[in-house]
Structure 1
């Protein structure tokens, strides 16, 4: 018996941030990956680490696990940014809740661990992002840039 309910898919995203090391540059940089071979938003820039929250795992735990699995960093000092409820045209499979975090300190040098899924890893100024960026992630990056992030965000409604 179906109740017309949908299943919400949770995911965690990590935006590593640093002050720009370039002379004369102002503002923070974010580490982004160029997606490839995933079947979702390939050839788009995205959070350096992100993935589904697994059963019995908190979003914080998922963020730490994904950062280790995807870019080989650990001991992240995570700061919660926003929870984003998103959909795509009301398709039940696309009801999502995304938990976004930043980290300004971690252990290890970020590197591509999954080359079949990541074509490039690049530090980008928050005020000059490459194109294209995954649309719902761009919303959060823009809120980080402008200092307007709120605890709850929606996308696609």
Structure 2
């Protein structure tokens, strides 16, 4: 039987209140080979064997932003595909956080060309497409617990 592989990943959207409403911290991707030049979650990455999506989100927040004690709130899961290659089958777990310890900063400059806060109502361009869909749903207050992208 031919089974496909689903690759899990965790995303962390740090949120705060700003002059134009809710703001999200985004990173400008570079040097990764995937969506370089696009804005994306300030912290995100693959879930490693033996860890939960929550643990992966906490780990990525520390590895990419240098922050700890991230108070994660589950936002949504997204099943997405980008084509026929088995590696393109994904399950993404999105979290938000409004509290953490430390000041977010660029820890991996080879992968991150910038880090900035943006109002959900004024996202930069371009944003990684499946992340833009999630952020727009968050802005609209209508995030379903399960979403899909690319089908």
TM-score category of the 2 structures, normalised to the smaller one: over 0.9
2:2 is matched with which residue? 4
1:85 is matched with which residue: 75, 79, 86? 79
CA deviations on 1:20-73 (whole Å, 9 max, x unpaired) are: 0xxxx2310000000000000000000000000000100000000000000011
**Structure 2: gaps of 5 or more residues:** none
User: Which residues in structure 2 correspond to 1:17-56 (within 5 Å)?
Assistant: 17-20=15-18, 25-56=19-50
Q: TM-score, structure 1 length as denominator?
A: 0.95
The count of corresponding residues between Structure 1 and Structure 2 is 151
1:136 is matched with which residue? 130
Report the Cα distance in structure 1 between the residues aligned to 2:84 and 2:132, rounded to whole angstroms.
Answer: 21
**Structure 1: gaps of 5 or more residues:** none
Report the Cα distance in structure 1 between the residues aligned to 2:20 and 2:34, rounded to whole angstroms.
Answer: 33
Q: TM-score, structure 2 length as denominator?
A: 0.98
Based on CA coordinates, which of the two structures has the bigger radius of gyration?
1
2:141 is matched with which residue? 147
The answer to whether 1:13 aligns with 2:47 is no
| Structure 1 stretches of 4+ moved >4 Å | none
Q: Greater share of strand residues, 1 or 2?
A: 2
